[in-house]
Structure 1
């Protein structure tokens, strides 16, 4: 499985979960991410074969899982055991883009979840956390990448010890939006025309996505965790309501992503497991208006723009 799609539900007009799973299957999508232990989605996924990233939920849940082992055991009992293996839960994400003081809960939550899964005979499920790309700094050239804060070194080494991948949300869109003077739109959207060379190792880059992922790889190496795989747990481009947010750019980016990730990056050739954000336009998303327009599909299940998954 190379491409999955994130199934966000911050909306009041989405189809029922069983229809969503049918839509995934009709498009040949074999990966999904959900952002909390959504019983409707989990039930609908039974027997589908779709590989799942299961997020634990908000920072309050993360803090509870970190606080003691019994909370983690109860969470696994309630949210994993009833569904696995009928639901193909691949990874549990202990936190999504955790910031500030909450970052201290990531490592203990992962440890407690690993112990709970092992105790339940479910040790094949890998536990990680999903980071914002700005957890890495010095990202140009990519080989200079280093984690911005010390907690990430602890996370990386823990993942190395368990064989779990690092989940990372990688958005060339935001990098381009913040710096259109130095970043070419074609380079950000998988269109040809720009090549960037990393003078440290001679690797050449034809898309910003690869450069961002390889900066993460460099940071893992510097943290003493060179064997940790990267899974891109979110990536996408909005189709309306903001700078460079057009259906044409969104289609170019997401189709380019689908067509590209099977070959990996210059630093790590080979398939790169990637999840597009998101399945649907979500009308209750807050923040920038573009947040409501990352969907590949409209709530009526019609495509937001043409896209081919296979």
Structure 2
């Protein structure tokens, strides 16, 4: 299975040049520390687009500009909270700059971690954390909905499994397919933990009134090593997760672009 998408954590010029002429769709990123400046200055947003998009756009298939990474995981300082407030304004400025340059096929977004969701089990109970739901997530989903973009997500089934190894089957987390879970509220049946986690976010978005925004997985994996308190983080399980994820992607490409109510 060849990679069709690449996520960069910056706008590395060497990588963007190497990808020129390929059919690989590329996501570039405005890093967290850059967000306040872009949010407050259209001139700076224009400069970012000029240097990181326009220089490569005609040769490299840049399709997404991600604003920050896992913003919801940083919440202990006033600076973190300011980052939350600057997130969507920065997206709007980047989008405005792209449009002013006649570019309409590059989407904006941001990939939070699963900690943005307060409740994930059962999936039908999914809801966003109270500290970000109205102030950050609501403006974000409005932006994504109005620009026909995706809700990006960094999702790691290892974490909920490792916190509840007695309640969640390892086979369920590794796509080994001999365990199912049925949500008692909806009757939806899940064959793996990844789908269950993703659908909890779908239900969280429905609670805000936005049920039609597709999800796109920005990151997912199983750790290949860990400390003594991190069970089953090893090369074998990492390889099992990756191989089974690829098989799932071949059978159902929507695992990477995951649409509401799509349970596999």
User: What is the TM-score of this pair, normalised by structure 1?
Assistant: 0.75
State how far apart, in whole Å, the 2-side matches of 1:272 and 1:120 are.
Answer: 33
Report the secondary structure of 2:98's partner residue: helix
State how far apart, in whole Å, the 1-side matches of 2:27 and 2:256 are.
Answer: 11
User: What is the TM-score of this pair, normalised by structure 2?
Assistant: 0.87
**Higher relative contact order, structure no. (Cα contacts within 8 Å, ≥ 6 residues apart):** 1
| Partner in structure 2 of residue 277 of structure 1 | none
State the Cα RMSD in Å: 1.5
CA drift at 1:262:
4.8
| Partner in structure 2 of residue 42 of structure 1 | 16
Name the CA shift for 1:263/1:165 in 2 (closer, same or farther; >3 Å).
farther
CA offsets 1:129-156 (integer angstroms, 9 cap, x no match): 1111110122111121111122112111
Report the secondary structure of 1:143's partner residue: helix
CA drift at 1:45:
0.9
Do the aligned residues in 1 keep the contact of 2:222 with 2:242 (CA within 8 Å)? yes
State how far apart, in whole Å, the 1-side matches of 2:117 and 2:58 are.
Answer: 35
| Partner in structure 2 of residue 123 of structure 1 | 104
| Partner in structure 1 of residue 261 of structure 2 | none
State how far apart, in whole Å, the 1-side matches of 2:142 and 2:204 are.
Answer: 12
| Partner in structure 2 of residue 293 of structure 1 | none
Partner of residue 212 from structure 1, selected from 197, 216, 225: 197
1:271 is aligned to 2:251: no
CA drift at 1:263:
5.2
1:133 is aligned to 2:114: yes
Partner of residue 114 from structure 1, selected from 95, 115, 132: 95
**Gapped regions of structure 2 (runs ≥ 5):** 76-80, 258-264
| Partner in structure 1 of residue 262 of structure 2 | none
State how far apart, in whole Å, the 2-side matches of 1:262 and 1:202 are.
Answer: 26
Do the aligned residues in 2 keep the contact of 1:157 with 1:223 (CA within 8 Å)? no
Report the secondary structure of 1:248's partner residue: helix
State how far apart, in whole Å, the 2-side matches of 1:128 and 1:29 are.
Answer: 21
Do the aligned residues in 1 keep the contact of 2:248 with 2:255 (CA within 8 Å)? no
Partner of residue 55 from structure 1, selected from 20, 25, 29: 29
State how far apart, in whole Å, the 2-side matches of 1:129 and 1:227 are.
Answer: 17
| Partner in structure 1 of residue 6 of structure 2 | 32
CA drift at 1:128:
0.4
**Gapped regions of structure 1 (runs ≥ 5):** 1-26, 265-269, 275-310
Do the aligned residues in 2 keep the contact of 1:188 with 1:207 (CA within 8 Å)? yes
State how far apart, in whole Å, the 2-side matches of 1:116 and 1:147 are.
Answer: 30
State how far apart, in whole Å, the 2-side matches of 1:255 and 1:85 are.
Answer: 34
Partner of residue 244 from structure 2, selected from 240, 256, 260: 256
1:88 is aligned to 2:71: no
| Partner in structure 2 of residue 103 of structure 1 | 84
| Partner in structure 1 of residue 260 of structure 2 | none
Report the secondary structure of 1:41's partner residue: helix
Runs (4 or more) in structure 1 with deviation over 3 Å come to 261-264
Name the CA shift for 1:262/1:66 in 2 (closer, same or farther; >3 Å).
farther
Name the CA shift for 1:258/1:180 in 2 (closer, same or farther; >3 Å).
same
Number of residue-to-residue matches in the alignment: 242
Name the CA shift for 1:40/1:155 in 2 (closer, same or farther; >3 Å).
same
